[in-house]
Structures are given as structure tokens and as C-alpha cells.
Amino acid sequence: MRSPPVNASLSNAELRRYEVARDKTVSSQETTETWLVPERGSQRAISFMLYLARLVGRRPLIPLLDPIALWYLIKDRTSRRNSRAYLRRVLGREPSLFMIWKHIRSYAQITLDRLFILDLQAKLPEISVEGPERLFKALEEGRGCILLGAHIGSFDSLRAVMRVMPAPLTLKILMYRGYTGDATRVIEALDPGYEDRLIPLGEPDTMLRVAESLERGEVVAILGDRAHDMGRSLPIPVLGKEAPLPVGPIRLAALAQSPVILFRGIREADGSYDIAFEDFADRIELTGTAREKEATLKGWMIRYADWISDLCRKYPLSWHNYYDFWEERS
């Protein structure tokens, strides 16, 4: 039997609580190192790379990533410092400059691949998909599905796999757009329908649009490993040290009563993408006293953080959070 409409389960009060005051941490951001900063990247440089990509293809461009990564290693102190902090934690030793360069280069490679994943006229990288049946099974009850990922590997590879799924799926992407720059807009313009799939975080109608999408049986994707200024976070152990993770994704799943599937898209050394869907929760319920609800919420967040930590240990160069994630300096 079909579940009640999702937006019926989200009361106005719940929506208002979820859409918390966006400006409450603006003043603190002036003294705190955060990922909420103006996007780096040159529109001209990306446009030039796009021109070359269409002219010669992907593989001839790969050698250009070496000097690009070297430039960022030398010039971008913030990325270098935070890469070192992460690698030190995930490797259990002090990383060399060469390892930091490889880490930065891995992100440059993912950015290059975006040109070929989003361009509908380009040839997709080779992909392998594990567990797509989990996604279709989660959608069978008509409650929609929340696809939960992290900044590990390529989130855009999700778009690639949707193009080769055995049955059509409607994908919506919940994303913070406050600091999207011209370089990203150039890349996103490769897919004319990209903007229509986005649900921007922090807008007055964000949660209403999410609820309506889930009610229609659609897939709503979100990355849950960056705390921002629009919601509460909790300190959760990631790679052995507590870091602030947003409570929003788990609370959203609990309010909507939609199943949650974990997603990852890892770039392999040969340029192919290993894409996997994993079961996380058929239904998340936050019931009982306030303390019991908090304990249940934290339990789900710890499970999510453990998944992140395991992926980082397995694919240490695929983590792309180049800011003070553990707030060691903030």
C-alpha cells in the first residue's frame, strides 16, 4: 500500500525548524576557516580546457594536470595545509610533499573528468556499477529515496550511471549554491538539464521541493559530510577524531520516512569509475524523549561517519575536503 504523501508528514513547524536561521554564523565565519568561501578557478582556464577536451579528448590532457597540481601545491597554502592534516590522519604518518601533490592532483583529475561526464556529446569514462538493484528496491514502496554520499571520489559519476540505468530514474540534487563561481557554471552548462535537477539549500522552499520530489517517487541526492551555516551539526568521530557533521540529512530522512541508500563513485587508476550503492536505512525513526531522539540521531550519524572513514582508508587520495574539517585551527 502506498505511503501517505511525504509533504503531509512534514508539518509547517517541522519545515520551519529545518529551515533554520541562515545568518546566525556569518559573523563567526569571519574568523573561522570554513569550506564556505568564494570558489577558486578561472572561467578562462576552464573554457580553454573544455576547448582542448573537445579537440583532443581526455587522455592527451592528463599530463597537463601535473603542473596544475604543482601550482596549487606551491601557491595554495590552505589546500596544502589541509591536505597534509588529512593525509597525516588517514595514513598514520607525516605525508611527503609528493603525497600532498598527488592528493591535489587527484582532485584536478576529477575536475577534468567532469567535462566528459556532464557533456552529453562526450564519451563517458568506463564505469562499473555495484548494487543498482538496491536503489530500485528502495523506490518500490513509493516513498522516494534519499541518496547519501560524501566528498569522496566524484559525485558527478552518479549522473553518469543514471544515463545507463536499466530503467529511467528522476534524480534531484540537494546542493549549496552560495559560492558557485563562473568556472563551475561553464562546466554545468555542458548539460542543459543540470540546473533543473538542482534543489538549492537555504531557499525558502527548499524542504517543500524535497518533500514534493520524494512524494513523486524521485531520488534526492545529498552529500552529508560538510556542516554549513543553515543547520545544526554534531561532533562525530571521523578517522579517529571528532568533526562537525550536519544533522540535516538524517533528520530529513526521518521526517520524510524515506529509505536511505549510500552512494560512492571512485576513480580507479585506469581512469574508470567504480560506482556502488549500499543499503543504509529502510526507515529512520526519531522517537521517544529529546535525549532518546538525540541518541538515535547520533547513532545513525556515527554509522555514516564510519562509512566515510572506511572509504578514506581504502581510497586515501579520493577525499576532497580541503578545509579545516576537524576544526583544529578554528
DSSP string spanning 11-58? Answer: -HHHHHHHS--TTTTHHHHTTS--S-SPPP--HHHHHHHHHHHHHH-S
What does the pLDDT read at residue 204?
85
pTM, entire model: 0.82
**Rounded Cα gap, residues 160 and 138, in angstroms:** 20
CA distance 38 to 244: 21
CA distance 43 to 185: 8
Three-state SS for 109?
helix
Identify the segments of the chain with pLDDT beneath 50.
1-31, 34-38
What pLDDT score was predicted for residue 11?
46
Angle made by CA atoms 23, 25, 29, in degrees to the nearest 5: 120
The b/e string for 223-248 (b: 16+ C-beta within 10 A; e otherwise) is bbbbbbbbbeebebebbeeebbbbbb
What's CA 272's distance to the chain center, in Å? 19
Which pLDDT value is given to residue 35? Answer: 41
Q: What is the pLDDT of residue 9?
A: 42
pLDDT score of 33: 54
For position 142, what pLDDT does the model report?
Answer: 87
Do the beta carbons of residue 91 and residue 316 sit within 8 Å?
yes
Residue 25 CA, chain-centre distance (Å), reads: 22
